[in-house]
Amino acid sequence: MSEWLERLDRKAELRAKAGLTRRLRHRSPGEGVVDLAGNDYLGLATHPDVVAAAQAALTAYGLGATGSRLVRGSTDAHAALEERLAGWLGAETALVYSSGYLANLGAVRALTRPRTLLVSDAHNHASLIDGCRISGAEVVVTPHADVAAVEAALAAAPGRPAVVVTESIFSVDGDLAPLADLHAAARRHGALLLVDDAHALGVTGPAGAGGVAAAGLAGEPDVVVTATLSKSLGAAGGFVAGPAPLARHLVDTGRTFIFDTAPPPAVAAGALAALEVARASDGRRAELTDRADTLVRRLRAAGLEVSTPAGAVVSVTAPGPETAVAWAADCRDRGVAVGCFRPPSTPDSRARLRLTVNVGVPRADFDRALDVIVECAP
């Protein structure tokens, strides 16, 4: 065997000993598993209106976009989605990408210029962390949700361009960032605020417009919003929303936009249909909140350490990586799919089960799944 392959095998052995091996699990239609692991919070991936819109676009345009957005990839479906996203969020423009990951890389890079300081929350998603790294800018990582630390980092760099980078609802523990206070701190120092709203879009805010809108920051000229279309909208892709000059800059210079194939038109059309359903889904959001509250109450009553969710994401602390893997496997063996987060995916070296609320799951199945999680607990 070649030396480089032997080296990869050794690394795999070390990961296995540490309980950090990852495995792909393939699912099939109608597998009968109760889903408390996916991100389809409002149950829209299979909504009849969403599926019908995607099918119609598939017939009209074919399977793929056939090119980048600047070549042949932009369609009427993409334009309509961007217009409606901007209106929903109260932003001047929105620009759709093939993934939320690429949207975050592009947004961070676009907001970075010589001498820029990036002030990044310690619990930020990997896409924001990677965006900060590849930007070449100086990065200060502040303790989680610590506004005073953000203020101190900005005050220590007077006169420098700066961007405060955060999620709204954090992807690991599901807690909410103090967005209004972060924005106030950023504005006092002439900094921008970049918010990844992926886990709040569709779940919080007026008509589900997200955490930025809920904080009263929609349309502010010094706020940029990114999000995926793959969470509450049940689709795929991502976007950057903000002032029109930013969109123009991204179209002209953004490598993750220019050189990437556009999302398939059928996905864009399905996402647009999901957006329309989500805007009118206050009842689904109320049900989601009730289920999240029920989940926390029942698991805490069983003596488990559970986060306090601001949306659909709830984390349950596990004693260690191997225990978390075994716990998740036991749940799956009993027909319940749960997420399993281990280092290095977690920001604080703690292993967790990551549970998500999907209101498309029948309530009786949801309640049974909570029993299974408690019964399988280590």
Q: What is the reported pLDDT for 30?
A: 76
First to last CA, the chain: 40
User: 281-318 b/e with 16+ CB inside 10 Å = b?
Assistant: beebbebbbebbeebbebbeeeebebbebbbbbbbbeb
Q: What is the reported pLDDT for 342?
A: 85
Tell me the residue length of the chain.
Answer: 378
In contact, 210 and 227? CB cutoff 8 Å:
yes
**Averaged pLDDT, 126-134:** 97
Q: What is the reported pLDDT for 372?
A: 98
Domains observed in the chain? 32-45+282-375 (3.90.1150.10), 48-279 (3.40.640.10)
Q: Residue 261 pLDDT more than 80?
A: yes
Residues 94-117 have pLDDT tens digits of 999 999 999 999 999 999 999 999
Task: Map the chain to HEC letters.
Answer: CCHHHHHHHHHHHHHHHCCCCCCCCCCCCCCCCEEECCCCCCCCCCCHHHHHHHHHHHHHHCCCCCCEHHHHHCCHHHHHHHHHHHHHHCCCEEEEECCHHHHHHHHHHHCCCCCCEEEEECCCCHHHHHHHHHHCCEEEEECCCCHHHHHHHHHCCCCCCEEEEEECECCCCCCECCHHHHHHHHHHCCCEEEEECCCCCCCCCHHHCCHHHHCCCCCCCCEEEEEECCCCCCCCCEEEEECHHHHHHHHHHCHHHHCCECCCHHHHHHHHHHHHHHHCCHHHHHHHHHHHHHHHHHHHHCCCCECCCCCCEEEEECCCHHHHHHHHHHHHHCCEEEEEECCCCCCCCCCEEEEECCCCCCHHHHHHHHHHHHHCCC
Q: Residue 17 pLDDT more than 90?
A: no
In the block, tokens 């992807």 appear at 171
Grade residue 345 by pLDDT with cuts at 50, 70 and 90.
confident
Q: Residue 1 pLDDT more than 80?
A: no
Q: What is the reported pLDDT for 309?
A: 95
| Mean pLDDT of the chain, nearest integer | 96
**Averaged pLDDT, 130-150:** 97
> How far is residue 165's CA from residue 119's CA, in Å, rounded to a whole number?
6
Grade residue 132 by pLDDT with cuts at 50, 70 and 90.
very high
Grade residue 119 by pLDDT with cuts at 50, 70 and 90.
very high
Q: Residue 203 pLDDT more than 80?
A: yes
Please tell me the number of Cα atoms within 13 Å of 201 on its side-chain side.
34
